[in-house]
């Protein structure tokens, strides 16, 4: 058995997404250094790295967007193949049958996709508290698109200092990466107009009336 393998969660191919050597090599991106160095040989032998379970990610093996894109190879339907990049960026990977997809972070599933769908918007409609969808939305979606997803009070929006967090669900979702007391108080803090900035213990009021 390869050096260090006995101390790491690993497995033979059990999911169609790991059918290619390239995908198995990519799975070692989050592995310990001693296994990264052996990634090519291990992948050739049929192994992939199965990351330790995390309270943050439901399917941590799919946290790499390239791995999610590659999951849309055969036998994925042509419609899903055309949407592979958008679906993967929204957190979805192909489950290997019919048109079933699931989010690697929150685990929520979605099928019967249409090419007219916006995967990120659909994700947020199903689970606005998903840490990946929230972060992706926060970093890439324009204010116009935000307005199409969340119906908020225009007058209240105009008075907000941090307009990107005017939706309570987004404020609460920002605490998903926090620990201890902050995470337990997320709902109350969000309802009071606070959100967590980055991964630092730093609270910033969403609504600031008067002054800068």
Structural domain spans, the chain: 1-52, 55-149, 153-212
Task: Give the predicted TM-score (pTM) of the model.
Answer: 0.48
Pairwise CA distance, residues 13 & 20, whole Å = 10
What is the domain class of 55-149 according to CATH?
mainly alpha
pLDDT 10s digits, 63-112? 899 999 999 988 899 999 999 999 999 999 999 999 999 999 999 999 99
């Amino acid at each position: 058995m390869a050096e260090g393998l006995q101390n790491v969660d690993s497995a033979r191919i059990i999911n169609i997404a790991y059918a290619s050597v390239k995908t198995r090599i990519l799975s070692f991106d989050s592995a310990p250094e001693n296994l990264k160095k052996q990634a090519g040989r291990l992948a050739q032998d049929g192994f992939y790295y199965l990351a330790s379970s995390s309270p943050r990610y439901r399917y941590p093996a799919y946290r790499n967007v390239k791995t999610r894109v590659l999951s849309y190879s055969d036998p994925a339907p042509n419609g899903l193949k055309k949407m592979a990049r958008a679906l993967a960026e929204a957190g979805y990977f192909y489950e290997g049958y019919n048109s079933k997809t699931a989010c690697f972070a929150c685990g929520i599933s979605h099928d019967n996709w249409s090419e007219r769908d916006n995967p990120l918007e659909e994700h947020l409609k199903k689970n606005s508290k998903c840490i990946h969808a929230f972060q992706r939305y926060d970093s890439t979606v324009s204010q116009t698109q935000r307005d199409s997803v969340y119906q908020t009070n225009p007058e209240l929006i105009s008075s907000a200092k941090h307009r990107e967090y005017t939706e309570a669900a987004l404020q609460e979702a920002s605490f998903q990466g926090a620990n201890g007391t902050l995470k337990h108080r997320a709902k109350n803090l969000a309802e009071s107009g606070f959100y967590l900035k980055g991964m630092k213990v730093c609270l910033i009021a969403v609504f600031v009336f008067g002054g800068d």
